[in-house]
Each structure stands twice: as structure tokens, then as C-alpha cells.
Structure 1
Amino acid sequence: MTQRYFAITAPGFEKQLADEIDAVGGRKIEKHTGGVEFDATNRVFYRANYEVRTANRLYLRLDEFRARDFPELYRKTRRFGWERLLGEENKVYIKGVGRKSHLIHTDRIAETVADAIREHFEEDLKRPAPTIVEEQEEGAQYLLARIHEDRCQLSLDASGEHLYKRGWRQEAVEAPIRETLAAALLIRAGWNHRKPLVDPMCGSATFLVEAAWMASKRPPGDMRDFAFHRWKNFRQPLWDDVVEKGRRRMREIDEVQFWGFDANPEAVDAAQKNAELAGMSACTEFRQADVAELTPPSEKRGMIIANPPYGERLEEGSGPRAAWETLVDRFAEHFKGWRMGLVLPSDITPSHDRLKFKEEMRFQNGGIAVKFWLARHR
């Protein structure tokens, strides 16, 4: 039996997410702005949470119906078989959204859905209802009631914490890139998992740890749990089987393949600790160094990937010149045969007479419009 799900990603990365959903067995895949909708069995749904690297959150589509007034919303919400997923041990936070519809009062939408769920349990089933909470809190199930053009869609969050929270990043520095975004950029760049990767402004090591996990085939959900683990229909043996098979596909990387550099000693310390927590100390190496000193750490050619300082941080890292300009010069001079991926604000167009740049994509990073550039030598 299959059900319908929706996976959220950063706008612009829908293709990468759709490819990953397809790889774990999703069917009837439809790309939308900021996400992918798909059909899946329980096994495929479990695998999507455990193995997909570019999704920020997954929702189970519960029901969809017309709702032009609150009595209709109440009646149709109450008829759903909530007991298949939730019980008295669950807490539920409900968010209402209304756009281009007769029902636009978000608080009343949430209250109506809450009343319907409560009375479904207490009056229809004669059993205690889940506890409805007024604010999102740890462990509470997140239910989205979205009404658009008088069509109500009820969706239950399957993830819990955002999927970019892998569990290994305990040490953070200023303006870290999200793990899901780092993975998506590595995929988009076409990085070869068996070649060296260098981040010359590594921060808390997000690019490098994500790359190490990709190269070792470690599932991104291996260090965390999920909201669907607390659903009534959660099947522990099936989950254990998914995890066991995912771990069997992993491979050891026993030599350094990932190098991180940063001028900030606190960033280097954070990166080292994060790599250790992620179980990737053996294949990563971190050093304090300014980008102006960057040279290849390996005779084997590979790729540089960087999210240089920009915005308020644009001038940090190497004196009066922007750090990315220095990086471009170092790449041109010392990294013949390597490739480079560079995240820059959308108003910057990099150039160098010895390099060829290609604008690969545009997206938002931390609320700033940016572009991802790929560079190689002419």
C-alpha cells in the first residue's frame, strides 16, 4: 500500500531532491517550487527519511477536501481515522494557513481542526484524545491545516527536527551553511566521491563532513530519530531492517581525503570536533591558514568548494581584498586541473583571465540571494 508524501527542499534544488526520491523507490514524483510530492510504501518512506540528503522536512499527506466554511472543515476533519496515527500519549501542535479562500483566520482554522480531532476520539471512539498544545514544543507532532482556494489539505510532519540537523554539528561558527544545502551543492557540482575535497574557509566543516558521509555512503539520518517513530502505525522491525541495510552499504575511508582551512582558530577547533562527532576524523584534516596561503594539500587532483564571507563578513579573512577574490587568484595559480565551486552574492560575477566560470544555479542562503559558480582552468 502506498501513501502520498511531500518533501521540502530549498527552492532551486527540486531536481536533486526528485532524483534522490526516485533512487530510494518513490513513485509518481511531481516537482513543485520548494519541494517534491511522491507516492511511497512504508519501506520507501522510511528510507526517504533515513537516506535522502537534500530534503529539509517530509510530510505525510493525510486528507484533502473542500472547506468553504468552518462547519464543513470541522465535519470533514472529524471523519478522518486519526487513531491510525495518533493516541493519547501524543501531543499535537496544529498550524492553520488560509489563502485565497473563504477561511483565512489562521487561529480559528487551527482551533476547528483541534476540536474535530478531540471529539473524534472522545465522542466517536470513546477514548482519550491526544493533547493539543498551543505552541510547538519538543516531541509534539506538527499538523499543518492548509486551505488554498477553498481546498483543505491536512499534512502531518514526519521528520520532527529539520532534516538538516544530522546530529553531528555540536560546534557552530558564524553563518554556517545548512547540511542539506551543502549536500545539494556537492551533488550539483558533480563532485567525484573518490577525489580530494578542499574547503579553504571551512567554518564548522559542513561541506567536508557532508562530503565524507556521502563518500562513505553513511545515511544522513544515522544519528537521529524522527517524529514518525511516535506514530501508532510505526513498524520497528521494518525500520530496523532499513537501518541495517543502509549501514551495510557503508564503506570505510581510512586515509585523509577532505581538507579544511580557516584563518579563525575557533573555526578550526569547531571543525575538528564536529568531524570527530561525525565519526570522520580518520579521513579529514583541518589547519589554521589564511586563504592567501592556500596550496594543494594532495598530489591527487580534486575539487575546492567554498562559501566565502559575504554581506557583513565580506572583508574578513585576507585584508582589504574580499576573501573570494584571493581564493580565485590562488586557484588560478596553484590548482591546475582542479575544479572549484563557489557561493557568491548574486550581484558578484567572478572573472579571471586564466579561468572559465559557469553560473550553475541561483538560490537563497540565509536570506541572501546568491549564485553557485563552477570554475575550471582554460
Structure 2
Amino acid sequence: MIMQNSSAFEKRIKRRISGRPHVFFAVCPPGLGGICEKEMAQVSQKAGEIFSDNDKISDIKVLPGGIEFTTRLKTACLANLLMGSATRILMRIASFKADGFRRLEEQIKAIDWELYLPEQARPDIRVTTHKSRLYHSTAIIDRIRPIVHDRLFLKNPPRHYDVTGPAGTPPQTLMVRGENDRFELSLDMSGTPLYKRGIKEKIVKAPLRETLAFSILTRLNLSENDMIADPMCGAGTFSLEGAMMQCALPPGTFRSFAFEAWPGFEEKSMAHARNKFMAAARAYMEARPLPPILARDLDRTAIEHLKQTSTRHRVFQRIRPVCDDFFNMTPPPITDNQGVLVLNPPYGIRLDKKDDITALYKEIGHKLSADFKGWRAGVVCPGKKEFHTLNLGVSTMPLFHGGLDLYTAIGVIGS
């Protein structure tokens, strides 16, 4: 039996899962490790303020692909809510050596799966291997799945295995990574990727991911005093992200997470944190009016979608979506460089084959130099050629998106 009684099970959960530190890994896009590391330090500070000093993060390490850190489960849950640059957060649950299926099965059976996953969960199992004797991913999944399945079903196991889980339960994912016969098992805390903020109802073609928009705005040192111009807004990623950042509303405010179904999840702790951040955001908005966010695009459908989205919550009502050409835009005056312009011009599949992308970026550079002097700008470029064509004399921020190496122009125009 998995559970003798609820009290005994809860004690096991507290002793083994919620009451002790674990190792986690925040996956972040290439080039964003530094921003992700700084965010992790901020999460640690917030955890100390909201929970206790014992809930802060330790051993923050920048590794290939992301940030490894050690903390308690509820702080890792808080990280999912707060982090804008991470793609997902994984909880490490086991690491062992296995050079054959018998050893693999023994190690999988030794894990108390019922302490990690909800009863009757059917986790999706994803396997990657490199230089291991056990290399066939399907065969590895076929050995792991029935063991996990048997531990999570008390009675009446279903005849067919799927990954949907009980109605209303977030899907769960088990990541298995094998390298040189050493296997590392992790559970995906986030569920859907963290760049899916739960805000947009409709998506336009090839939108910029929220993690990249957040990172660009972070590099531009966006503050609550800045006016934001987003004159090629598309789906409004920059506008929406900027609106939340300016009133300190966490990126994960409007979405759910896979960990919310875990036995060790402390719902009261997360509710307390959410309420605290929502109250702080309201205080930001009530203290004084924040500057408007000027969103423009030639795609009327995209503008209509953004108008609908901007009415969903008070924090987005500063966004002013208008169907218009960027090159017709006359920016309002700013003082003390307190204007932030962000541009994600069409490139790749968003650009018509007959369009001259070099000529487009040259025209953008002329427009910015003529009309946006003193604005802090972030312009996404699909390559070095387009970056140099802008001729703005600013620095570059390498990014990776949609299979492309991007070079974002970052700096003050006319400086």
C-alpha cells in the first residue's frame, strides 16, 4: 500500500520532500545565463522575506543550459512564479549508475514515487542518452513506466496507459538523462514552458518568446518611470511583459504549474506569496499613474487581439494598441532618457520573400536616429549584417530564438 493513513503519509512528505532542501535546475535560453543567475539571487531574497531565512537559495551554479540551485520545494515553486528568463524548472529526484536494465529497474523501484507525484498520475517519460550502454530510449521508457505506474495506482489500474492523468490534473513529465552509464532523473515542475504566461488567448505568426522580451527589457533597465514604445508589437509580447515588470507583477501570475498537483506542494504558502505580490502591484498602480505603453502594428488582427488582451486585467490597461505604421509614428517627448523603445521587426517566416530585409533595417536605423534620440532601444536583428545596417553605434546582445542566432541592438540612441 502507498498510504497507511493520511497522517503518516503527511509526515513522510514533510520529512522527505517539503521539509528538506533539494537540488533544482532552471533551464534558460542560450545567452541568458547571467540574467537568470541574477533573478535566482532575487528569488532567494524574496523567499527570505516571505517565508524565512531557512528558505533561501544556496549553491547557485551557472551550468550549460541553465542554473543549478539548492533550496526547499516551496522556494522552487516561488521561483516558477517569479522568474521571467527561465524556460522551465526541474526538480532532481535521483542520480545513479546503471549499465544494464536490471540495475536500472532496481534503482527506479527504490524511489518513493508516491511522495513526488499525485496519486494516479501518468507521467510522460522523456529519455535522452549519450555514451551509455543503455541507449534505446523506448526500451528504457518501457522498463521505467510500469514501475512508476504501479506505485501511483492503489487499485483498479487502467488497462491502457496514457499521460493525461485524472481530470483537472496538470500533466506531469519525468526527464531521464543518461550519460556514461550515469542516469539523472528530474521532474518538470513547470508543466507548460514558463514563457507561456497564460495571458494571450490568440497567437500571431512566430511571436517573440516572453523570456527573450523580459531579458531585453531587463538589459534596458526598464523602470516604472519609463514610457514604452512597442511600434511593431505583433502579439504584444513586449507591451504585456513591460506592463507587468513596471508594477512588479510576477511573470507567472496568470498561469498554473505542474507542481500544484504534487503531494508536497504547500498551497497556503504559494497563495500567501501570490496575494503579497498582487497587493504590491496594486500599490504601484494606485500610488501614481504609470506612463502609457504605445503599441503599434500594421496587422489589424494582431492589434484587435492585443486590445482584447489588454482589457483582461488592470495592469494591462495602460497599453494603447493602434493599427499604424511605425514609420508614421511621432514619439512624445521624454526627459532624462526615460523612454524605452523595443522593436522586433519582421524576419524569417514573418517577412515576405520579395521584401529586402537589409533595406528595412537601414530605414529603421534612419527613423530611430531622426526621431528617437535619447530613447533606450532594443532592436532584434536576425544577424550581424542587419545589426550593422542599423548604424546606431550601440552594443549587441546575442540571443537564440526559433533556430536563429539573433543580435539585439541595445543602447541609447544618439549617445
The answer, yes or no, to whether TM exceeds 0.5 is yes
What root-mean-square deviation, in Å, do the aligned CA atoms of Structure 1 and Structure 2 show? Answer: 2.6
Question: Does 2:242 align with 1:194?
Answer: no
Residue 287 of structure 1: aligned partner? 322
Contact 2:73 2:265 in 1 (8 A): no
Query: How far 1:9 sits from its partner (Å)?
Result: 1.2
Contact 2:398 2:405 in 1 (8 A): yes
Query: How far 1:181 sits from its partner (Å)?
Result: 1.5
Contact 1:79 1:120 in 2 (8 A): no
Residue 324 of structure 1: aligned partner? 361
Residue 236 (structure 1) aligned to one of 253, 260, 267: 267
- Work out the CA distance in 1 between the residues paired with 2:96 and 2:356: 59
Question: Does 2:341 align with 1:310?
Answer: no
Residue 21 of structure 2: aligned partner? 2
Question: Does 2:94 align with 1:75?
Answer: no
Residue 19 (structure 1) aligned to one of 7, 25, 38: 38
The one-letter code sitting in structure 1 at the alignment partner of 2:202 is E
Secondary structure at 2:317's aligned position in 1? helix
Question: Does 2:332 align with 1:297?
Answer: yes
Alignment of 1:1-378 (within 5 A): 1-25=20-44, 26-120=57-151, 133-134=161-162, 139-250=170-281, 251-252=284-285, 254-300=289-335, 301-314=338-351, 322-351=359-388, 355-359=392-396, 361-375=397-411, 376-378=413-415
Q: Which runs of 5+ in 1 are unaligned?
A: none
Contact 1:90 1:131 in 2 (8 A): no
Secondary structure at 2:314's aligned position in 1? coil
- Work out the CA distance in 1 between the residues paired with 2:156 and 2:59: 37
- Work out the CA distance in 1 between the residues paired with 2:64 and 2:225: 32
Query: How far 1:312 sits from its partner (Å)?
Result: 4.0
Structure 1 residues 329 and 314, CA, compared in 2 at 3 Å: closer, same or farther?
A: farther
Q: Which has the higher strand share?
A: 1
Secondary structure at 2:117's aligned position in 1? coil
The alignment-based identity, stated in percent, is: 28
Query: How far 1:283 sits from its partner (Å)?
Result: 1.5
Listed one character per residue, the Cα deviations across residues 211-234 of structure 1 (whole Å, up to 9, x for unaligned) are 110001111111111111111111
Listed one character per residue, the Cα deviations across residues 58-89 of structure 1 (whole Å, up to 9, x for unaligned) are 11100101111111111011101112122433
Residue 16 of structure 2: aligned partner? none
Structure 1 residues 68 and 186, CA, compared in 2 at 3 Å: closer, same or farther?
A: same
Contact 1:295 1:334 in 2 (8 A): yes
- Work out the CA distance in 1 between the residues paired with 2:276 and 2:304: 34
Secondary structure at 2:211's aligned position in 1? helix
Query: How far 1:117 sits from its partner (Å)?
Result: 2.1
Contact 1:88 1:130 in 2 (8 A): no
Contact 2:77 2:259 in 1 (8 A): no
- Work out the CA distance in 2 between the residues paired with 1:39 and 1:366: 31
Listed one character per residue, the Cα deviations across residues 141-168 of structure 1 (whole Å, up to 9, x for unaligned) are 1011111111111101111111111111
Secondary structure at 2:296's aligned position in 1? strand
Secondary structure at 2:322's aligned position in 1? strand
Query: How far 1:11 sits from its partner (Å)?
Result: 0.9
Query: How far 1:354 sits from its partner (Å)?
Result: 7.7
Structure 1 residues 186 and 7, CA, compared in 2 at 3 Å: closer, same or farther?
A: same
Q: Which has the higher helix share?
A: 2
Structure 1 residues 282 and 373, CA, compared in 2 at 3 Å: closer, same or farther?
A: same
Query: How far 1:349 sits from its partner (Å)?
Result: 4.1
Secondary structure at 1:261's aligned position in 2? strand
Contact 2:220 2:376 in 1 (8 A): no
Structure 1 residues 83 and 292, CA, compared in 2 at 3 Å: closer, same or farther?
A: same
Secondary structure at 2:128's aligned position in 1? strand
Secondary structure at 2:255's aligned position in 1? coil
Secondary structure at 1:355's aligned position in 2? coil
Q: TM-score, normalised by structure 2?
A: 0.83
- Work out the CA distance in 1 between the residues paired with 2:173 and 2:30: 22
- Work out the CA distance in 1 between the residues paired with 2:63 and 2:192: 22
Query: How far 1:127 sits from its partner (Å)?
Result: 6.2
- Work out the CA distance in 2 between the residues paired with 1:88 and 1:355: 57
Secondary structure at 2:39's aligned position in 1? helix
Listed one character per residue, the Cα deviations across residues 288-336 of structure 1 (whole Å, up to 9, x for unaligned) are 2212212213444412111111124446999997443322111101112
Q: Which moved more, 1:245-254 or 1:104-113?
A: 245-254
